[in-house]
Chain A
Amino acid sequence: MPEGKGQGDARLTRRRRRPSVWSGVVLVVIAGLSVASSLLLSQGVHRQSEALLRNNAGQINLLLQTSLSTLQSQLRATAGLTAVSGDSPTVFATQAAGLRTQPVVTVALVDSSGPTARVVLVAGTALQQGALPAMLAPVVHEAASGLAGAVVDLGGHKQLALAAAPTSNPHVSALELSPVDPTKPIPNRSGPYSHVYVNVYAGPTADPATLFLTTYGPRPLPGTVATATLHLGDVRWLIAVSQISSLVGGSAEAAPWIVLAVGLVVAFMAAGLVEILSRRQEYAQELVAMRTAELVETQRLAVRRERLAAIGEMASVVSHELRNPLSAVVNDLFLLRHKLGAALGEEGDRHLSNAENQVFRASRLSEDLLAYARDREPELAPVDFEAVVGAVLEATPPPDGVSVEVEGAARFQADQGLLTQVMTNLVTNAYQAMPSGGTVRLSATSDDGATVITVEDEGDGIDPAVTERLFDPFVTTKHEGTGLGLAIVRRLVTAHGGEVEVENRPDRGARFTIRLPNARS
């Protein structure tokens, strides 16, 4: 059935399908694994980044410690040599020149042997000889045991003060003052630490008041911050570091995202593949189900055809075998009536009439059976619809209360005898459908394609339950009748290559429609 295949495919593809459960499961599992892997990788990268940051802080700490240690030695040497030379300004100037890396840096020699500390010699502008400003006194005092430092406000400017005392003369200290401005960052655009922000506090905590060096600004450092504490004598400095750009490399930073993206793509692709396979399987199953249904239907029709053929064969045999006995009975009933004549009497006449009627019925059944079973090729000739209907109505006139309307004056090719039988059966059927009267409408139209004949009645219509079997032999909805009339109609119409169908009219009654192909005369 090639046409069945085409329709089937169209029906299957038109259907809207829900995604399969398995494709959803595959999507969720692979996407979940991707997210988990990405998170693990991300944590690893983060830990690595923190370790590198701590490492940077440690290195900066070491660097500062070395610088401070060198500075401490130089300050001690300055203080020691100057004291030994009897506070020689010349010696001091020579020593201080090495410490004043910039003109704004001030170097002073302080004597703390008296009740108040006193500036003995000075190079630079931040201090003058004489009394030491009070906020520097603790720095100088602490320096007695090594190195001391603090951020102090001197003359409206913040200065980083570092003091060191020579081990030989505990009352003398060398003091260095460098102006600092923690509100202005000093970016480190090149060098080994250009990828980190650095804050250095002249104290053990991240106190903004002690901030004296920043590459970022006075605000807290952004992101993850690693710290290191510098210990040198009494100095406790805090070094804070955070990263500007990735310390572990761009590809390592991107790795979790790449894993996530690739994982999601794979998840969707795998889910799509599962969905395609699932749909193909579903399609195949539906196709099998549909083909099975078609086969079952084909088999049902074949069984039905065989059954009808068997009925036809049996009808033929029974009809022929009935005809001889019926002939003899008809003749003998005639002879009985003829020979008895008046002796028959009223009662005898009634019984005989009854027997004659029943034989007439049996004859009609036999004729119908033969008409149904007859395998006759139609002899096509031009027929006039009105003439056929005229002959039918003359032979089977409408009963009382029934009128007949005829429309259409079609001429077409048909077997006149067979068409007459078809119309007789349909018209008789219509009469019987209207026991209380009504109108039978007959019409025929013919064009190049086909002739369409309709017979309409105003009866109760056809029970939908029997519509399919209505044209089968021995199916009847009437109390009397052989159940062969419509079966004969279909057989004769089919013999013409046509088809007949029945439907209930919208208002009331039934409409039989016959289509005969290419029948124009």
Chain B
Amino acid sequence: MTSDSLSSGVQAIVLVADDDVAVRRSECEILEIFGYHVLAAADGDEALRQLGEHTVDAVVLDIKMPQRDGLSVVRDMDPTPPPPGVVLVTAYDVSADDRRTLGGRVRRVLQKPVSPASLVEAVADAVTAGRNGE
């Protein structure tokens, strides 16, 4: 199961942004088990900062966060380097308008609670997309 992140030879970097510490911690641990290098952010601002400091392949973003929400993070990501593939994880609905606005950057929208298998599968897809600049 760790082959997804290692197939390219370089360990993929995934940013997990969620204000709920229990969720964030457990998602990080799961992704680490599957061979990803995982960065964590507790809110939108921190997520943007991390994205500025590191080259990230995929982002797992909670939508509802203090300071800056996940949708805002997606909109404000620096577009010059190929942006990472985005997996939105939310306890709320994402409107059709938001989906259209965010366009191709968002690979998946997952409803909480997300099964670990779904999470890993969505992240693998996002990493591939992020690396290929899709």
Contacts and interface: CB of A to CB of B under 8 A. Distances in A.
B93 A338 contact: no
Interface residues of A, number: 23
A324 interface: yes
A317 to B, nearest CB: 11
A324 B23 contact: yes
The 4 closest A-B pairs by CB, nearest first: A331-B26, A328-B22, A323-B91, A323-B112
Contacts of B115: 330
B6 interface: no
Interface in B29-44: 29-30, 33
B91 A379 contact: no
Given A323-B111, A326-B112, A330-B115, 7 more contacts: A323-B113, A327-B114, A328-B22, A328-B23, A331-B23, A331-B27, A335-B29
B134 interface: no
Contacts of B29: 331, 335
B96 interface: yes
Interface of A: 319-320, 323-332, 334-335, 338, 359, 363, 366-367, 370, 374, 376, 379
A326 B30 contact: no
A64 to B, nearest CB: 129
Nearest to A338: B33
Nearest to B117: A334
B113 A327 contact: yes
- Helix, strand, loop or mixed for chain A's interface? helix
Given A324-B112, A327-B113, A331-B116, A379 B96 contact: yes
A492 to B, nearest CB: 14
Interface in B48-102: 89, 91-93, 96
A359 B119 CA distance: 17
Nearest to A367: B111
Contacts of A366: 113
Contact of A320 (B23, B26, B91): B91
Contact of B30 (A324, A329, A331, A379): A331
Contacts, number: 56
A327 to B, nearest CB: 4
A338 B27 CA distance: 13
Nearest to B19: A324
A320 B22 CA distance: 16
A427 B20 CA distance: 37
Contact-size category for B: 10 to 19
Contacts of A334: 26, 30, 116
Most buried by A among B22, B89, B96, B113: B113
A325 B20 CA distance: 9
Most buried by B among A334, A363, A366, A370: A334
A359 B115 CA distance: 11
Contacts of A324: 20, 22-23, 91, 112
Contacts of B33: 335, 338
Contacts of B30: 331, 334-335
A320 B96 contact: no
26 contacts: A319-B91, A320-B92, A323-B112, A324-B23, A324-B91, A324-B112, A325-B22, A327-B20, A327-B23, A327-B113, A327-B114, A328-B20, A328-B22, A328-B26, A329-B113, A330-B113, A330-B116, A331-B23, A331-B29, A332-B26, A334-B30, A334-B116, A335-B26, A363-B113, A367-B111, A374-B93
Interface string B91-134: 11100100000000000000111111000000000000000000
A462 B44 CA distance: 51
A323 B112 CA distance: 6
A117 to B, nearest CB: 153
Nearest to B28: A331
B118 to A, nearest CB: 10
A325 B18 CA distance: 13
Contacts of B112: 323-324, 326-327
B122 to A, nearest CB: 14
Contacts of A328: 20, 22-23, 26
B52 to A, nearest CB: 27
A465 B66 CA distance: 49
A363 B93 CA distance: 16
A514 B33 CA distance: 49
B93 A376 contact: yes
A374 to B, nearest CB: 6
Most buried by B among A327, A328, A367: A327
Contacts of A370: 93, 111
A335 B26 CA distance: 8
Nearest to B110: A327
Contacts of B96: 379
A330 B114 contact: yes
A370 B91 CA distance: 9
A338 B31 CA distance: 12
B89 to A, nearest CB: 8
A99 to B, nearest CB: 144
A347 to B, nearest CB: 23
Most buried by B among A329, A330, A367: A330
Nearest to B27: A331
Nearest to B93: A374
Most buried by A among B20, B22, B23, B93: B23
B18 to A, nearest CB: 8
A332 B113 CA distance: 12
B7 to A, nearest CB: 21
A328 B33 CA distance: 16
Contacts of A325: 22
B23 to A, nearest CB: 5
A331 B33 CA distance: 12
Nearest to B26: A331
B35 to A, nearest CB: 13
